[in-house]
């Protein structure tokens, strides 16, 4: 795949599935106590680090942004797909959502208290990860918490349909937690903890708790 084609394909794919994705995910958090507990821990660490604005990068329909808000976190959502952002604004009218890319966040240096990226890095190719993590570090305050959720494993597959059989054209990348942690270390983050989920299922997950260095 050439250059930024993946961004165009990801945007178009999630524009196509935005409404059905929102429908499927609306109540999904309640079914996964480990995700809820990870978000609770994240909210605690945001508070302990002094609060501030928190980005949900690749927020999709905004259900995680809304959950963080309920936990007292000053969260806003950002997503590549304008249709996803439209759905997020419709479903959560009191919250802030913006169209944008993790590769170029368009936010001021050190303007965020914390950042979360839940299952959005799964579409970012390996060669773009250093750019994305450099952006995360640039916009975070020193010591700011970072929470990442992603598919655990190794290898990539092309997803050609999803969320009710709608056409998609996105690569889904699985990564070992150690590889993600190494990329984070190179970008100036310290990984503090990890949670592995659904190890007996076809799509296991990993959640990494990290923090921007204080340099």
Ligand X SMILES: C[S@@+](CC[C@H](N)C(=O)[O-])C[C@H]1O[C@@H](n2cnc3c(N)ncnc32)[C@H](O)[C@@H]1O
Judged on CB neighbours under 10 Å (0-12, 13-18, 19+), 94 is: exposed
Query: Tokens 């921007």 label which residue?
Result: 212
Among 67, 92, 123, 173, binds ligand X (CB under 6 A): 123
Check binding of 95 to ligand X (CB under 6 A). no
Find the length of the chain. Answer: 215
3-state SS of 138-206 is: HHECCCCEEEEEEEECCEEEEEEEECCCEEEEEEEEEECHHHHHHHHHHHCEEEEEEEEECCCCCCCEE
Which of 43, 110, 48 is CA-nearest to residue 70? 43
Q: According to CB under 6 A, which one of 103, 131, 156, 169 is a site residue for ligand X?
A: 103
Q: Is residue 96 within 8 Å of residue 73, measured between CB atoms?
A: no
> From the list 102, 139, 148, 181, which residue makes contact with ligand X (rule: CB under 6 A)?
102
Nearer to ligand X, 62 or 113 (CB): 62
205 binds ligand X (CB under 6 A): no
- CB of 24 or CB of 214, closer to ligand X: 24
C-beta closer to ligand X: residue 7 or 152? 7
Contact yes or no for 75/59 (Cβ under 8 A): no
Binding of ligand X at residue 120 (CB under 6 A)? yes
What is the C-alpha separation between 158 and 109, in angstroms, rounded? 34
Distance CA(171)–CA(128), nearest Å, equals 13
Mapped onto helix, strand or coil, the DSSP state of residue 160 is: strand
Q: Is 135 in the site for ligand X (CB under 6 A)?
A: no
Cβ closest to ligand X, residue 49 vs residue 64: 64
User: Could you say whether residue 16 binds ligand X (CB under 6 A)?
Assistant: no
Kindly tell me which of 150 and 189 has the beta carbon lying closer to ligand X. 150
State which of residues 45, 58, 129, 205 lies at the interface with ligand X (CB under 6 A).
58
- Residue 118 touches ligand X, criterion: CB under 6 A: yes
Query: What string marks each residue from 156 to 175 as x (binds ligand X by CB under 6 A) or -?
Result: --------------------
Q: State the residues that interact with ligand X by CB under 6 A.
A: 7, 10, 14, 25, 58-60, 64, 79-81, 84, 101-103, 118-120, 123
């Amino acid at each position: 795949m050439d250059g930024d084609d993946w961004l165009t394909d990801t945007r178009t794919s999630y524009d196509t599935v935005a409404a059905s994705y929102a429908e499927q995910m609306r109540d999904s958090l309640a079914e996964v106590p480990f995700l809820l507990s990870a978000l609770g821990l994240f909210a605690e660490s945001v508070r302990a680090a002094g609060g501030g604005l928190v980005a949900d990068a690749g927020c999709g329909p905004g259900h995680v942004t809304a959950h963080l808000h309920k936990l007292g976190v000053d969260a806003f959502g950002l997503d590549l797909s304008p249709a996803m952002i439209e759905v997020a604004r419709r479903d959560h009218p009191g919250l802030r959502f913006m169209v944008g890319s993790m590769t170029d966040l368009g936010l001021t240096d050190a303007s965020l208290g914390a950042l979360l990226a839940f299952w959005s890095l799964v579409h970012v190719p390996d060669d773009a990860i250093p750019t994305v993590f450099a952006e995360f570090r640039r916009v975070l305050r020193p010591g700011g918490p970072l929470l990442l959720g992603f598919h655990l494993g190794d290898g990539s597959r092309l997803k050609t349909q999803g969320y009710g059989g709608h056409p998609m054209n996105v690569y889904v990348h699985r990564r070992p937690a150690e590889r993600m942690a190494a990329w984070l270390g190179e970008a100036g983050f310290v990984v503090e903890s990890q949670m592995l989920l659904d190890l007996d299922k076809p799509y296991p997950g990993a959640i990494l708790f990290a923090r921007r260095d204080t340099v």
